[in-house]
Amino acid sequence: MGMTLAEKILANGAGLTEVKPNQLIKVKTDVVLGNDITAPVAINEFNKLGVKDVFDKEKIMLVPDHFVPAKDIQSAQLSKQMRDFAREKEIKHYFEVGDMGIEHVLLPEKGLVLPGDIVIGADSHTCTYGALGAFATGVGSTDMAAAMATGETWFKVPESIKLHYHGKLNPYVGGKDLILHTIGQLGVDGARYMAMEFVGDTIRQLSMDNRFTMSNMAIEAGAKVGLIEPDEITLHYVRERAKRPYQLFLSDYDAKYAMEYEFDVTKIEPTVAFPHSPENTRPISEVGNVWIDQAVIGSCTNGRIEDLRAAAKVLSEGKVNSNVRLIIFPGTQSIYLQAMKEGLIEVFINAGAVVSTPTCGPCLGGHMGILAKGERAISTTNRNFVGRMGHPESEVYLSSPYVAAASAVLGRIASPEEVLGVIKKGEVA
């Protein structure tokens, strides 16, 4: 019996010829990641171990991105602890304000995560890197501490679930809509501790930006990792960034999957997740009149250049509604600069939006966009749990940048067709 993509990567990392679901294995890590919430805890635990040095100064990534620029004394202390540790241990990849970005956008951009890697991050959305064909998953801060010391971690090999996507996407539909639709079908625990493997002709046509979005939200279905086999699109992205060797793994034709699903994407509309769960999804045609107070475009889910281009396309046709605050967060400094060169920032500001330095900001209720009691936001982020973006009696709706921007213009959750018009067959969205 052959192996799935997840099994092949884990077998390689464990130095084994094969692994099977539910097998406990120890693997070598290629990347160990922490941010300004989780890394300080890991640093404290690392110091308790009595180990003098980290296992590899180039394989540890420290990215303050949740509360930066520091919003208060406590957040400033967290970043300082990371900064001091990075200097003391001579960690190469510490990213300070001005060079940093949202961690799961920044690391692929800089070529620090590559196909075939085993990546652990003390952040649940580390699964984003599965879009590159890397086994990447979130762990606790104590596991991060142990990995910083040893360069190893352990896993129970997950079962794999294969998700087939076929057909041509409808106008204004992208990776965010596909993954929201999928979570709506599977539920938030439908892939619990499984490796989701996204396949099919639709996936092969998706850009890297859209692939990152899909893998990013695998955790919202309970998955351990969200994988896409590397192909020419992957290699085109990686070749100009990689500074070290990497390996390409593909699933065997006779690999065994716990479950398989088929999706005809021609039936998928722009999709919105209602409060208070990513599984509570509705197609845009069934949303009704939901008035909003705030729109957020950005995050590790949708803060990439294609996301900003989609938002700018809508906002070039209409200004932000006077009852709405629109906040836009480019994922990295490089993306911010590219958006400036393309004139997107000018479009945003002229439309009445505010553009922030790269930060997670309001996604986790951190800062720069916290909701008051009774307020509603539509957001391109990945979670909409109770109190996620502020007051426990506020509401968060999840969508693509197209829908979020159109909603900001019209003051209610809206289809981009209401601003940009209906795309006829044969036209390009």
| CA nearest neighbour of 181 among 287, 281, 307, 301 | 281
C-alpha to C-alpha distance for 19 and 17, rounded to whole angstroms: 7
* Residue labelled with tokens 């794999």: 160
| CA nearest neighbour of 315 among 380, 405, 398, 403 | 405
pLDDT of residue 372: 96
pLDDT of residue 427: 53
Mean pLDDT of 81-92: 96
Q: Report residue 421's pLDDT band, with 50, 70 and 90 as the boundaries.
A: confident
Q: 9-32: buried (b, 16+ CB within 10 Å) or exposed (e) per residue?
A: bbbbbbeeeebebeeebebbbbbb
pLDDT tens column, 215-243: 999 999 999 999 999 999 999 999 999 99
Q: What domains, with CATH codes, occur in the chain? A: 5-263 (3.30.499.10), 272-420 (3.30.499.10)
pLDDT tens column, 344-400: 999 999 999 999 999 998 988 889 999 999 999 999 999 999 999 999 999 999 999
* Mean pLDDT value across the chain: 95
Please check the confidence at residue 100 and state whether its pLDDT lies above 90: no
pLDDT tens column, 50-79: 999 999 999 999 999 999 899 999 999 999
Torsion of CA 53, 59, 60, 63, to 10 degrees: 150
Torsion of CA 75, 78, 79, 81, to 10 degrees: 160
C-alpha to C-alpha distance for 348 and 357, rounded to whole angstroms: 14
C-alpha to C-alpha distance for 239 and 33, rounded to whole angstroms: 22
| CA nearest neighbour of 63 among 114, 110, 116 | 110
Q: Report the predicted TM-score, pTM, of the whole model to 2 decimal places.
A: 0.95
pLDDT of residue 363: 87
